[in-house]
Amino acid sequence: MTRRIPHVGLLAGLLLSAAVLPAVAQEMPTATVTAVLESAPVDRDPDDPAIWINPADPAKSRVIGTDKDYGLVVFDLDGNIVQRLPDGRLNNVDVRQDVALDGGTVTLVAASRRDDNTIALYTVDKDGVLAHAAPFTFPGSPVEIRYDIYGIGLYRNPASGETSVIANFKTGDIVQWVVGGTPEKLELTLARQFKVETQPEGVVADDALGLLYVGEEDGGVWRYQADPKAPADGVQVDLVGSRCLPADDVEGLGIYASGETSGYLVVSAQGMNRFVLYPRQPDAEGRQTCIGSFHIGTGATDPVGETDGIEVVSSGLGEKFPRGLMVVQDDRNEGFTRNFKYVSWADVEAALKLPTN
Amino acid sequence: MTMREVDLLNCRRLPRAAVLAACLFAVTPSLASAQELTDAEKAISNVVTLGEAADAPTEWLGPTPHFVMVGEFGDYTFAINIKDPAKTENFKLEGKREYRKGEKGLDYIDFEIAVDLITNGIERGLEIEFENANFAAHPVPSTFALQDKEFPAGLFSNMELQVEWEWVEKSFIVNDEKLYSDGQLTVALEDAKPEADGTAPNGMIGGFVTGTMDGKKIAISFTAPVTEAEIDD
């Protein structure tokens, strides 16, 4: 179930805002940020990144990117390729550390595999090296959905360590599976299935707040309770056509958690070549009103166009990324190549004058 | 992004009641301010000329690989005249076929002509994509009227034209795509050898298309080597 903002009410509200507070509509902070560095080009077609944080040495963390006609490509924080996994048409990817299982914990990477509409799972060792989990793939849905598996995300309950995989399909179907079993033999148990009206892709869980966000490419951004046992009542955070998301597609989503409840939901707005920020914590009425946006311009790298998948973490990852790292796919790069750009979150904070406490 | 891009990419897809409000906000100055060019710079970015000057084609220019595109699209003007793609520097021309499983095997639902080129020091990408319920159901040559519905049956096709480039020094990004509903496509050449899975990532596609949008006309003649095929699940 999803709850759309009534269009007539929306219209009236927006018109009222435009009439009474025209400055508000024009003052959404918009900034230009430059990337610190860029990854090596990806051979085919990169889409979505995830970030594995090395707890022993954050500067040796890894960026895991999909090359959606090839598999996964793993980069270090200088953008060098350190591992290639030719595992098929992997579209999106996510990672969670300290996933509780019978007999221990693992770091888990999940990717949506379009070859056979499966969820591909990997484990990550202490040095950031990925290996196929056992089993490697699971059906993405309990009953075959013919139109491609697409986005994927992981949610880890911080209290229990229980983790679930959320996969979505081009049909709009969203399927959440709880991860169980042992580190040697994983199991996925169907938890719930729901739907958005049109094609989704981006999905991200705010673990600490227990919220799950889904991006409907032509529709907007939806918020759900992340608990796999919770009813799937969706609340529309924003819709394509609003002042914050004037153009489709909604693509990747990320959570920058600066405190228990503070920080941002970051939305990749492809048609604007821009990233839009919303507060993590909904207000008393459940609203999350956008607070600014930025695009990545020319600096140490070329600009970022046709933005797609993103990931962002707030942990300091060495001198280059002292207040966190945002990684974004870049669809157009020198020599007609594609890659990932690495952005220091400190630069985003400075450009948008965000509080840093 | 231009205001026209915001309008055409987005506003027509909105629920009717939200269109006005959304578009009112879409014209806030902040949206375009990051990508403003002077008129002289616009001439560099928005005029795409490659090859000898030529009039707009009026018919398909034959089975030898070529790409000729003359006319206007949105804010952009094209005068591309490439008669020998393989020997042209800074130019790449490829075709792609796309299929979908139908009741009697694969339906040939889509083909795409992709061009990479460099002009005025800017790397640019163009994609021209056509859809039909099954192009294979029609003899070659056949002429299709353009309309903006997905996978139209009969002698209809849609055409999506996408242009993308970034002017790195100016941090200026162009990313514009539109569906044409006024014009004609003639598929004049389909040279294909199906492989075991029924797809044909080989041979050539040739044709001629004219389109009009907002009073601006574009004419394209192409014969492109096909290098890729895909089954849309």
Q: Could you tell me if B166 lies within 8 Å of chain A, comparing CB atoms?
A: yes
Question: Which pLDDT tens digit goes with each residue over B109-161?
Answer: 999 999 999 999 999 999 999 999 999 999 999 999 999 999 999 999 999 99
CB atoms A273 and B175 under 8 Å: yes
Residues of chain B with C-beta less than 8 angstroms from the C-beta of A114: 233
Identify the pLDDT of residue A158: 93
Residues of chain A with C-beta less than 8 angstroms from the C-beta of B9: 247-248, 271
Bridge partners, A190 (sequence order) = A177
Task: Locate B112 and state its tokens.
Answer: 């795409």
The whole-chain average pLDDT of chain B stands at 86
**B45 membership: H or E segment, kind and range:** helix B39-46
The pairing of beta strand A274-279 with beta strand A263-269: antiparallel
Question: Which pLDDT tens digit goes with each residue over A141-168?
Answer: 998 887 889 999 999 999 999 999 999 9
Give backbone dihedrals phi and psi of A214, rounded to 5 degrees, phi first. Answer: -130, 130
Identify the pLDDT of residue A146: 76
Rounded to the nearest angstrom, the minimum Cα separation between B142 and chain A is 31
Question: Which pLDDT tens digit goes with each residue over B149-201?
Answer: 999 999 999 999 999 999 999 999 998 999 999 999 999 999 999 999 999 99
In 3-state terms chain A splits into helix, strand, coil percentages (rounded to 5) of: 10, 50, 40
- In A229-269, beta strands by DSSP E: 234-239, 250-257, 263-269
Interface confidence, given as ipTM, is 0.79
Among residues 234-253 of chain A, which lie with CB inside 8 Å of chain B?
Answer: 239-243, 246-248
Q: Could you tell me if A179 lies within 8 Å of chain B, comparing CB atoms?
A: no
Four-residue CA torsion sign, A95, A97, A101, A104: positive
Q: Show Cβ contacts of residue A250 under 8 Å, excluding neighbours closer than 6 positions.
A: A201, A202, A215, A216, A217, A218, A219, A220, A221, A240, A267, A268, A269, A270
> A239, A259, A258, A262: which is closest to A250 by C-alpha?
A239
Question: Which pLDDT tens digit goes with each residue over A86-119?
Answer: 999 999 999 999 999 999 999 999 999 999 999 9
Identify the pLDDT of residue B1: 27
Identify the pLDDT of residue A27: 60
Task: Locate B157 and state its tokens.
Answer: 């096709």
Identify the pLDDT of residue A305: 87
Residues of chain A with C-beta less than 8 angstroms from the C-beta of B168: 298, 302-303, 334
Distance CA A299, CA B67 (A): 35
DSSP secondary structure string, A262-273?
-EEEEEEEGGGT
Give which of B4, B31, B89, B118 to mutate to test A binding, by max A Cβ within 10 Å.
B31
Rounded to the nearest angstrom, the minimum Cα separation between A304 and chain B is 8
* Contact predicate B187/B142, CB 8 Å: yes
Q: Could you tell me if B160 lies within 8 Å of chain A, comparing CB atoms?
A: no
Residues of chain A with C-beta less than 8 angstroms from the C-beta of B116: 336
Rg (CA), chain A: 19
Q: Could you tell me if B90 lies within 8 Å of chain A, comparing CB atoms?
A: no
Q: How far is CA B183 from the centre of its chain?
A: 13
| pLDDT by position in tens, chain A (length 357) | 444 443 333 333 333 333 333 333 446 788 999 999 999 999 989 999 999 999 999 999 999 999 999 999 999 999 999 999 999 999 999 999 999 999 999 999 999 999 999 999 999 999 999 999 999 999 999 988 878 899 999 999 999 999 999 999 999 999 999 999 999 999 999 999 999 999 999 999 999 999 999 999 999 999 999 999 999 999 999 999 999 998 889 999 999 999 999 999 999 999 888 999 999 999 999 999 999 999 999 999 999 988 899 999 999 999 999 999 999 999 988 889 999 999 999 999 999 999 986
Identify the pLDDT of residue A271: 86
Q: Show Cβ contacts of residue A171 under 8 Å, excluding neighbours closer than 6 positions.
A: A145, A147, A195, A199
Query: Which chain B residue shows the shortest CA-CA distance from A299?
Result: B171
Identify the pLDDT of residue B27: 33
Query: Which chain A residue shows the shortest CA-CA distance from B115?
Result: A336
Residues of chain B with C-beta less than 8 angstroms from the C-beta of A248: 9-10, 13
CB atoms B10 and A331 under 8 Å: no
CB atoms B34 and A32 under 8 Å: yes
Residue type, A297: G
Residues of chain B with C-beta less than 8 angstroms from the C-beta of A239: 18
Q: Could you tell me if A331 lies within 8 Å of chain B, comparing CB atoms?
A: yes
CB atoms B15 and A7 under 8 Å: yes
> B144, B72, B134, B142: which is closest to B105 by C-alpha?
B134
Query: Which chain A residue shows the shortest CA-CA distance from B231?
Result: A115
Distance CA A198, CA B148 (A): 19
Crossing angle of helices B16-26 and B3-10, in 10° steps, is: 160
Give which of B166, B167, B176, B227 to mutate to test A binding, by max A Cβ within 10 Å.
B166
CB atoms within 10 A of CB A355: 7
